Structure 1
Amino acid sequence: MRDTLMSTVLTPEDAGYEAATRLWNGRIRRRPAMVVTPVDAAGVAAAVAFAREQGLAVSVRGGGHNIGGTALADGGLAIDMSAFRDVTVDPGARTATVGAGCRLADVDRATQEHGLATPLGFVSRVGVAGLTLGGGLGVLTRRFGWTVDNLLAAEVVTADGAVRRIGRDAEPDLFWALRGAGANLGVVTSFTYRLHPVGPEVYGGLIAWPFERAAEIMDGYRAITAAAPRELAVWLSLLTAPPAPFVPPEWQGRKLCAMAVCYTGDPRTADDAVAPLRALGKPVLDQLSRTQYTGIQSYLDDTEPEGMHYDWRSEFLAELSGDLLGTMRELFADCPAPMADIGLLHLGGALNERPADDGAVGNRDARYVVGVKGMWPPGETQETRFREWVAEGGDRIRPYGLGRTYINFQGPDESDARVRATYGANYPRLVEIKRRYDPANIFRSNRNIRP
């Protein structure tokens, strides 16, 4: 097997296997039959061909950060893309070609050398491949759309072992499906993104108020985000203040209503852009200032440490109703988990201007995401209670949503019906493309489209 694949291969008997199969979500433990680490597209193709011949499911590990643990499949062949870490930036053409093993920090660091960026996520350790193939969202989404709206081309190894270079004019059906459901179609080895002038300095940070003022602050948030320019992204979170140096000691361990802010417009207008936030008055902390874009892209890293146990529920929203905001407050007031939170991601803007069938990602009517997020350490005696709170929260926010959710936020406990609902009217076309490119469904360690 090792001679056939010409790659590093680990099995459960090998040193290094345990580390290679450790996932960000420590609640999920899976044991593939082997972990293969190829160094080029030919090695990926050999691994895919081997798996197909042996009847093994193929999973792909980029960053291993998916909430559902899709990077690994029990008894399958896991392809570790960690050797694919090159980033090539063409500042004249405003493009970046990125290896599928890169983390967001790798891409942001390279593109910011030229004052450029593409919409990515908001935790720097996340893998760029999984983020992109599920659609991709972040603080630049309001200005420039989903990550896949900025994807120009990709190199992908399909189930037949072929290495294909695809784009809107090269195998357009496969490229269409890749933009939002790509984990179902093959192993992407590189992505080429469109870049935009952003940074290196932007304006942003955290601002927070006592949870006792949450009704007032959340009403303000609704009005501010409805009128905000696209250069301003404001994400709201109900959370318990951590024992961090930037939190005043008297507020550590207390419930807060906080906002994470990023303004990427003209620096001369930054104060005016955030003035409505400061007009809410008397925050317990205000860290809004000029800062590096790479700092904005990493300052939430510590909120999602590796190895903790996670459970999430989320919904896309077209609007923020008073009833939803009240439900969020009620849920958080009764939250038993000290490291859990309930949040709103601010999206409306560029993504809403494209047709619903522009890429499999769809969801062009989404203007916010609401999420109920649980986090606790391994061995927590109240894990069952915490998970019940997350599940109840998901049930209670669902009536206010669009019936769909970001595919990258779907955990292992969510049903296939949620996958079909998320892709909506795009699902039948996805099934046809999946049947054409992966009829045996070897790429099924994902939110699966069934041929």
Structure 2
Amino acid sequence: MTRDNLRAFGDQLRGDLIRPGDAEYDDARAVWNGMIDRLPAAIARCAGTDDVLATVAYARDNALPLTVRGGGHNVSGSAVSDDGVVIDLSRMDAVHVDAARRRVVAGGGATIGDVDRVAQEFGLAVPLGLVSKTGIAGLTLGGGLGWLRRAYGASCDNLVAADVVTATGERLHASETENPELLWGLRGGGGGLGVVTSFEFRAYPVPPQVSFALVFHPWHDAKAALQHYREWADTAPDDVSSFAILWHAPAIDEIPGEYHHQPVVVYAAVHCGDRAEARSDLSPLRDFGNPIADLSDAVPYAEVQQLFDEDYPAHIMRYYWKSLYLTGLDDAALETMRSLNEISPSPHSTLDVWQLGGAFCRVAPDESAFGDRSAPFLLGIEANWEDPADDEANIAWARRVHEAMSRFSTGAEYLNFPGFFEDGEQSLLRKSVGANYARLSDLKGKYDPQGLFALRGGFS
């Protein structure tokens, strides 16, 4: 890369080429995780597919590392690299709805909030994640789990078509009838097959308000509360997607002060079906024990999608997330999680037990690159903290949880909670997609024979 060829490259773009020293550079290189402080050589803020094509060609021809930034909600930091080129899709965030066909088309830079805002105008929702600032690109390419997962499946299950720029500079459309094998790989294979500039999703009608349960239990009742959740989750209907969260209570007015920053167990669930049925289906979560707070209510779906946004501020907090698919929640697993939550160095960290099953598990392992769906629960290990001086302690805690809980797991992990890929990209991919690994590797060889796109380039 030389000053002259970089200038010539910038002249090709309709969008902006941002370089070190430019006023926008520090903002452009920042991602959501405050730990990430990388210095790319150039950031191409693309205005359209032609800009993406030009940037891919520039990186390929100059043998430069290439990463992709979609919505920028990037826990692993892999959307940016030192001395590399970043394809920034944030300007390509348009969302279009075909209400008659129940389809939503969104640009690769769109966030969950962008999609929710437009789709809800038509009474529709796409199964996406839980924090509205999350980019749909990285979320979908890594799977995509949210409040509609048990009713309608993962985000990747509802991806019906995509437009892709490959490493060799081809524009491809992937659908069930056109390049179907590429679509298969995009459905939860982690990215790395090209730059997805546009996603087409299946959407579903949701009521004007959904029923939301949020119940806090004191720590002295944690064992019983977790055992109750285990039994309830086993028979809950598909309209419900829920969590049991081991946390430390936030300092909010609705929770008595003596419990602030103390360990708690939280039930969180959304019922996207009939309101009368929701009252019956969620009552076991609300009626159990003696909770310290019950913040349950009927809430507009778009608001539910934003409820946890304040808990995950961009650039301020520091994040390190891992995961394991659990074979069950026996008492030994529950006790291990309880003891580990008690020693969390940060009150912001959580151990999230995601209820799986429902529509999510009715997809055969070979139907998408995502792989096996048989585990009944996913454990999300979230180390969230503020002070850089606490980096080592919080990362060590998350890794300790991962090691201790491995004996209760299938061995598989969720690609969107990858830590910092410290065990190697291919190792994580093997654990995540299982028997689909060889097929996915063949696709990688076909569409990116020179390895321009690292796996992590798909996490944006």
C-alpha deviation, 1:445, in angstroms: 5.7
Q: Is the 8 A contact 1:407 1:447 kept in 2?
A: no
1:413 Cα deviation from its structure 2 partner:
4.3
**2:31 is the alignment partner of 1:23:** yes
Query: 1: distance between equivalents of 2:172 and 2:457?
Result: 23
Counterpart position of 2:5? none
Q: TM-score, normalising length from structure 1? A: 0.96
Q: How far is the alpha carbon of 1:161 from its aligned partner?
A: 1.2
Please say if 1:333 is aligned against 2:342.
yes
Gaps of at least 5 residues in structure 1 are none
Question: Deviation of residue 244 (structure 1)?
Answer: 2.1
What residue identity is the alignment partner of 1:429?
A: R
2:439 pairs with 1:439:
no
Distance 1:31 1:212 in 2: 47
1:181 alignment partner, SS class: coil
Letter in 2 for 1:377: E
User: Is the CA contact 1:158–1:185 (under 8 Å) kept in the aligned structure 2?
Assistant: yes
SS state of the match for residue 352, structure 2? Answer: strand
**TM superposition shift of 1:348:** 1.1
Specify the alignment match of 1:223 in structure 2. 231
The CA distance in 1 between the partners of 2:241 and 2:327, in whole Å, is 16
Distance 2:339 2:387 in 1: 27
Give yes or no for the alignment of 1:421 onto 2:431: yes
The question of 1:285 aligning with 2:293 is answered: yes
Aligned with residue 150 of structure 2, among 142, 145, 153: 142
Task: Give the AA of the match of 1:357.
Answer: D
CA contact (8 A) 2:94 2:106 kept: yes
Secondary structure of 1:213's counterpart equals helix
Q: How many angstroms apart in 2 are the aligned matches of 1:228 and 1:166? A: 36
Separation (CA, whole Å) in 2 of partners of 1:7 and 1:197 = 36
Q: What's the Cα RMSD here?
A: 1.6
Match of 1:173 in 2: 181
Q: Contact 1:26 / 1:378 at 8 angstroms: preserved in 2?
A: no
Q: How far apart, in 2, do the equivalents of 1:413 and 1:45 lie?
A: 27
Q: 1:444 is aligned with what amino acid?
A: A
Q: 1:267 aligns with which of 252, 275, 284?
A: 275
1:101 aligns with 2:101: no
Q: Secondary structure at the match of 1:332?
A: helix
* SS of equivalent residue, structure 2 residue 344: coil
Distance across 2 between alignment mates of 1:26 and 1:205: 30
Q: Secondary structure at the match of 1:72?
A: coil
- Say yes or no: does 1:314 pair with 2:330: no
- Residue 189 (structure 1) aligns with: 197
- Give the superposition deviation at 1:447: 7.2
**Does residue 1:345 correspond to 2:354, yes or no?**
yes
The answer (yes or no) to whether the contact 1:59–1:79 under 8 Å persists in 2 is yes
Contact 2:267 2:285 in 1 (8 A): no
Match for 1:366 among 347, 364, 375? 375
CA distance in 1: counterparts of 2:450 and 2:279, whole angstroms: 56
1:183 Cα deviation (Å)?
A: 1.9
Out of 370, 375, 387, the residue aligned to residue 384 of structure 2 is 375
Shift of 1:200: 2.3
Report deviation, 1:94.
0.5
Aligned to 2:403: 395
Match of 1:200 in 2: 208
Task: Please tell me the residue identity of whatever aligns with 1:143.
Answer: A
With over 3 angstroms needed to count, the CA separation of the structure-2 counterparts of 1:445 and 1:152, relative to structure 1, is closer
Is contact 2:112–2:131 with CA below 8 Å preserved after alignment?
Answer: yes
SS at match of 1:404: coil
Q: Distance in 2 between matches of 1:437 and 1:182?
A: 14
- The equivalent of 2:4 in structure 1 is none
- Which runs of 5 or more structure 2 residues have no equivalent in the other structure? 1-8
Instruction: Give the 3-state SS of the residue equivalent to 1:184 in structure 2.
Output: coil
In the superposition, relative to structure 1, how do residues 419 and 447 fare at CA in structure 2: closer, same or farther (>3 Å)?
farther
**1:260 to partner: Cα distance:** 1.4
Deviations 1:161-214 (A, max 9, x none): 111111111111111111112521111111111111112210004111101110
Q: Deviations over 1:339-380 (max 9, x none)?
A: 22211111211122121111111122132111222111143x
Greater shift, 435-444 or 382-391, is seen at 382-391
CA deviation after TM superposition for structure 1 residue 40, in Å: 1.0
Percent same amino acid at aligned positions? 37
Asked if 2 retains the 8 angstrom alpha-carbon contact of 1:419 and 1:447, the reply is no
Q: Could you give the per-residue CA deviations for residues 189-245 of structure 1, whole angstroms, max 9, x where no partner exists?
A: 111111111122100041111011100000000011110001111211111112223
Residue 427 to residue 190, structure 1, CA distance change in 2 (3 Å): same
In structure 2, do the counterparts of structure 1 residues 6 and 293 end up closer, same or farther at CA, with 3 Å as the change threshold?
Answer: closer
C-alpha separation between the residues in 2 aligned to 1:81 and 1:247? 40
CA contact 1:313–1:393 (8 Å) conserved in 2: no
CA offset digits 1:262-291 (Å, max 9, x no partner): 011101212101111123132111111111
Q: Distance in 2 between matches of 1:53 and 1:18?
A: 26
Within a 5 Å distance, the mapping from 1:38-117 to structure 2 comes to 38-117=46-125
Indicate conservation of the 8 Å contact 1:87/1:99, yes or no. yes
Structure-2 separation of matches of 1:30 and 1:439:
27
